[in-house]
Amino acid sequence: MSHSHLIRYILYFEASPDQIQVEIGNMTAEPVKFKCVEILEMTVQILNLFHKKLQDICASRQKNSIENIIRIFPDIQQAENDLNQLQSLLDPLALPQLLSIVSFWKNSSRIHHICKGLSFLNKAVSANIDSTLLDSVCAINEKTSGDECALTYEKYRDKIEKPLSDDMLTLFSYYSSGSDLFEFLGSLSNDDVYNLQEAVNDWEETLVSTKIVFEFATVKNFVDRAYDTIKVKHQELKNTPLQLNDIVTGFATIWKNEQFKDLRTYLESSSLALSSIKRIHLELVDKEQSKRRRIADILQKSIV
């Protein structure tokens, strides 16, 4: 492919960065020699074309879908840095919104988990967190307009991200990414957790270490104590809906305890070992049920 054909390809078909790299790769594979001036001319044409593309994006950023913005960056993790380096080619009024859009997209997975985790807590503790905002954030996708994405993201940042610590945001994200863990914790009694610890101590061969089960038990202890604190607050409010700050305060109060200083690490280890912990618990339940059946059989025979 000649350099003129390459320019036309990019212009007419709006090639993505990956496509441009492929076409340049194909071009260099051909046994064609270019003069330095031809290479410079091609570079200038590509730069001018890219500049025009950036101007079009700036002009239409509010109405067009964000896929037109994020697709020009081969690595979304570096997009903010790329935009800052391209400031001289961008409309100064558009730059803040473009930065907001790529920042959201770079962190979209974590943001979605935080919002979904808060939605879970909203129902679990009878809170009054802005579900409309949470749903709006989770609804953002590649087809969302630039204006809607930026506005929704800024609301999320003002109401959730900025007021909360990174520890608290991580905890809330686990209520989504590790929802199975919290559902399982909620199904266990303190006796169940004690039996898990005893089983791991007694068995020579086990699926998880005593350290992991201790960390799991610590997470259980933290969650139960935080819920108790939140419940007391709910009663103080005479059962009126809790606000986000009430939930955050409940968790933060318990988190200050020294035994929970490594909670983030414990959340991760417990999530990773969850299937094994469930299996041990199931074996204990089966053994307990078998024991009860044997006792029932003995009692039945003694009566007869």
Place of tokens 């109060």: 253
Compute the 3-state secondary structure of the chain and give helix, strand, coil in percent, each to the nearest 5.
75, 0, 20
Q: How far, in Å, CA of 80 to CA of 103, rounded?
A: 7
Q: In this predicted structure, what is the pLDDT of residue 125?
A: 86
- Exposure string (b/e) for 206-216, b if CB count within 10 Å is 16 or more? ebbeeebbebb
With bands split at pLDDT 50, 70 and 90, how would you rate the model's confidence at 126?
confident
Residue 273 has pLDDT above 60, yes or no: yes
Band of the pLDDT at 40, cuts 50, 70, 90? confident
Cβ of 133: how many Cβ atoms within 10 Å?
17
* CB 244 within 8 Å of CB 127: yes
For 234-239, which contacts have Cβ atoms below 8 Å and span 24 or more sequence positions?
A: 234/125, 234/126
**pLDDT for position 76:** 86
Cβ neighbour number for residue 104 with a 10 Å cutoff: 22
Range with the poorest average pLDDT among 16-25, 185-194, 204-213, 268-277: 16-25
Element spanning 214, H or E? helix 210-236
Look at residue 211 in the predicted model and tell me its pLDDT: 92
Which residues are paired to 65 by β-bridges? 145
Average pLDDT across the chain, whole number: 83
In 3-state terms, what secondary structure has residue 21?
helix
Q: Is the pTM of this model over 0.75?
A: yes
Query: E strands of the chain, at which residues?
Result: none
